[in-house]
């Protein structure tokens, strides 16, 4: 039996990772989920994209699966391209800001002895904390890409430790919890089949 399924995927010109789940029942109905993502997509926003779900008979799938999927793939290719451009511009702006900033001298304490100086959090400490956060989130994203949601949740920084990142961390935690549940359900369905 010859099919042209993979030729159709190649013709979409969407290089990357395809996640396709197929479930069929005793009545001949299919439920197919399809999600496309480029290989190295560590953008947090892309993790919010849900798969496209197709339902129908085998002939419905043969006739309409690729046409419906093409629309999603075209919009996602543009989305990923835009996210990369935005990330690159943010990184460039951060570098420029870092080059233009100069260390502030210590200021004498108001109303006190002129030998006492008020010292804030050292720049190196704040920078180390930011770097630790960035490295940890990068590792969380890698674990997420490997579908190791439990491990990612275990190392996700606490909102109490990073109050300025509270909203981002809460969204990331909710997303990981949702994916962990979906993954467990998918494995259960797969094992039952």
Give percent of the chain above pLDDT 90.
Answer: 3
Which CATH topology does 1-91 take? Double Stranded RNA Binding Domain (3.30.160)
Ordered by start, the domain boundaries in the chain are 1-91, 121-193
d(CA 107, CA 118): 6
Confidence of residue 101 (pLDDT cuts 50, 70, 90): very low
Task: Give residue-wise pLDDT tens across range 113-157.
Answer: 545 544 444 555 778 888 888 888 888 888 888 888 888 888 888
pLDDT at 4: 83
* Per-residue pLDDT, 114: 47
| pLDDT average, residue stretch 88-113 | 60
The span from the CA of 104 to the CA of 20, in Å, is: 54
Give 55-93 pLDDT, tens digit per residue: 889 888 888 887 777 777 777 666 666 666 667 777 777
């Amino acid at each position: 039996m010859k099919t042209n399924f993979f030729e159709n995927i190649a013709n979409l010109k969407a290089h990357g990772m395809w996640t396709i789940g197929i479930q069929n029942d005793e009545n001949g109905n299919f439920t197919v989920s399809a999600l496309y993502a480029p290989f190295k997509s560590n953008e947090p926003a892309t993790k919010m994209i849900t798969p496209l779900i197709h339902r129908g008979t085998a002939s419905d799938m043969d006739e309409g699966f690729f046409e419906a999927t093409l629309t999603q793939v075209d919009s996602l290719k543009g989305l990923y391209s835009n996210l990369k451009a935005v990330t690159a511009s943010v990184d460039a702006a951060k570098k420029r800001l870092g080059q233009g900033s100069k260390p502030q001298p210590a200021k004498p304490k108001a109303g006190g002895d002129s030998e006492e100086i008020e010292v804030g959090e050292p720049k190196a400490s704040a920078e180390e904390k930011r770097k630790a956060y960035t490295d940890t989130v990068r590792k969380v994203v890698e674990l997420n890409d490997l579908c190791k949601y439990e491990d990612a949740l275990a190392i996700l920084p606490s909102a109490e430790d990073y109050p300025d990142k509270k909203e981002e961390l809460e969204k990331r935690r909710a997303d990981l919890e949702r994916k962990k549940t979906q993954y467990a359900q998918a494995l259960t369905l797969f094992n039952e089949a």
